[in-house]
Amino acid sequence: MSGAFSRARAVVAGAALFASVGVWGCADVLDIRTSRFLAEAGPNDGKCEGTLRVRVLYDMTGSTRDVGVPAGKGVVDHLRAIDAAGGIRGCRLDIVEGDTHYDVESTLAVYRDWAKRPEWNEVSTLFGQGTPMTQALGPLAAGEKKLFMTTAFNGELATPVSSDHDVGVPSVNSSFAEATVPTRKRSPGYPFVFFQGTDYTTAARIAMNFIWKLGAKRVGFFACSTSAFCTDPVDGGKTFLGVLGNTKVGRDLAIELDEDEASIEQKVEAYLREEVAHAAADATYVPVDWIWFGNTRATLARLGRALARIHQRVPLAPKIVTDNWGLDEVLFADCGEACVGIHGVQPYPVFGDGSASGMARLVEIHDSFRAMEGLPASTYATVQYVYGYVAVATWRAAVEAALDAGLPVDGENLRVVLEQRFQQRSIDGLATLSYSGLDRRPQSTARVYMLGASGRLEQVGQPISISLQGDWLGW
């Protein structure tokens, strides 16, 4: 294991429902060396005229604010830093934020309010997060031909055209009966939606590959039931275990995004007692020794603490591997030693990983804005901040590519540029992305991290890649 990184300890939920952001600075604004963000353009490169208007939606106050705020700050800080440096090739940025509350109706209310404003037709790009919110806004963005850059990495969002797949999902029911459940995976297609991280279902397959190599015997699937961000990766993980062989699928357990710790402890203890009892009654049954956890960090901390107490009463201590929203630099502060040893998959290097060439710039931007706000440098310093930062870096590269081609910067042209000019495209050394007109899965690689005894995230081995299959597209 190598690569210990930890900066974050606090998450501060932010702001009112709307906040206009306009940092109209010049050289060395906010102690950022602004020349580092200016386009390296030659005399014949395309210039930009007017104002680049963008809108940013993220969860400031809802059930995923623990991770939604850092991701949103990664977007807003990066946009503000670009604008502070003079914008992009002569165009300043108009940035407005809105709170989704991780709720579809609240999100739609913000969108509708923005749509009433006179400058709305000039807005080319939305930045968002949250699978349910992206599912709701994706068709609206397409109808108005606005680019939608999201940090929701759900596989359903990765196809620009409709898709339909019949999948047989290995399952174990509450009575421990095994069956293959026919499941239809549908996506309506999201032609104007782009995300940058490894899609959740591919990441779950990578996680299954990782624990399979460690000798996992049976995997239980604990996830929320209210969002495809939780449920689709479960089916992907289960079907991939069938491909790998030897490791068995275990029962499901629903743990919701906002579920309290007492409820989690009660559910999990009953689940594990049933595992022990069934293994005692059936000598051929191997109980769960690993848990896939599809949820966010705050809920994972509750699970980790609950499991530590349960282990004192039940002789079964399964290990945990979680999704990218579960394991981050703040988990140890939230959970303590009870969560040491938890593994998770991440699409990017974690915050502060100096091996990534673009990380120094990212940290500089983050720390400068925290200093301006009078907040500790550790605030928002998590891997989710990296997600937001990469979304903006990708957008900026698309804007510059459109300008280089002599195209107006609007949602349609940005979509075309991303589809046609982003193949194995390095984004500030933090990600390598590929898009096409038929497939928006940007990458097939994830890193596995473990929460070490020091409280820091430790990378386990090298990044893992798997080959993307056509019948995985759209879920």
DSSP string, 183-237: EEEEE---TTEE--SPPHHHHHHHHHHHHHHTT--EEEEEE-SS-HHHHHHHHHH
User: Which among 340, 302, 376 is positioned nearest to 10, based on CA atoms?
Assistant: 376
Give the pLDDT band of residue 19 (cuts 50, 70, 90). Answer: very low
pTM assigned to the model? 0.89
What is the identity of the amino acid at 67?
V
3-state class (DSSP) for residue 371: helix
Q: CB-based contacts of 389: which residues, under 8 Å, 6+ apart?
A: 74, 75, 77, 78, 362, 365, 430
Give, for 128, the enclosing helix (H) or strand (E). strand 123-128
Mean pLDDT on 131-151: 98
The answer to whether 218 and 288 have CB atoms below 8 angstroms apart is yes
Give the pLDDT band of residue 14 (cuts 50, 70, 90). Answer: very low
d(CA 116, CA 434): 35
Give the pLDDT band of residue 45 (cuts 50, 70, 90). Answer: low
Per-residue pLDDT at 76 exceeds 60: yes
Mean pLDDT on 143-162: 98
Helices and strands (H, E) in the chain, number of each type:
11, 19
Per-residue confidence (pLDDT) for residue 260, from 0 to 100: 97
pLDDT digits (tens, 9 = 90+) for 290-321: 999 999 999 999 999 999 999 999 999 999 99
Residue extents of the structural domains in the chain: 2-163+351-442, 164-187+199-349+447-472
Per-residue pLDDT at 35 exceeds 70: no
Mean pLDDT on 71-78: 98
Q: How many CB atoms lie within 10 A of CB 256?
A: 17
The answer to whether 294 and 234 have CB atoms below 8 angstroms apart is yes
Per-residue confidence (pLDDT) for residue 68, from 0 to 100: 98
The answer to whether 170 and 241 have CB atoms below 8 angstroms apart is yes
Per-residue confidence (pLDDT) for residue 15, from 0 to 100: 35
pLDDT digits (tens, 9 = 90+) for 359-381: 999 999 999 999 999 999 999 99
Per-residue pLDDT at 27 exceeds 90: no
Span 2-163+351-442: which CATH code?
A: 3.40.50.2300
Per-residue pLDDT at 58 exceeds 70: yes
- Per the prediction, the chain carries an average pLDDT of 92
Q: Give the 3-state secondary structure of 230-277.
A: HHHHHHHHHHHHHHHCCCEEEEEEECCCCCCHHHHHHHHHHHHHHHHH
Per-residue pLDDT at 279 exceeds 50: yes
Span 164-187+199-349+447-472: which CATH code?
A: 3.40.50.2300
Per-residue pLDDT at 20 exceeds 80: no
pLDDT digits (tens, 9 = 90+) for 210-237: 999 999 999 999 999 999 999 999 999 9
Per-residue pLDDT at 42 exceeds 50: no
Tokens 């807003």 appear where?
A: 76
Give the pLDDT band of residue 92 (cuts 50, 70, 90). Answer: very high
Show the tokens assigned to 89: 């090739």
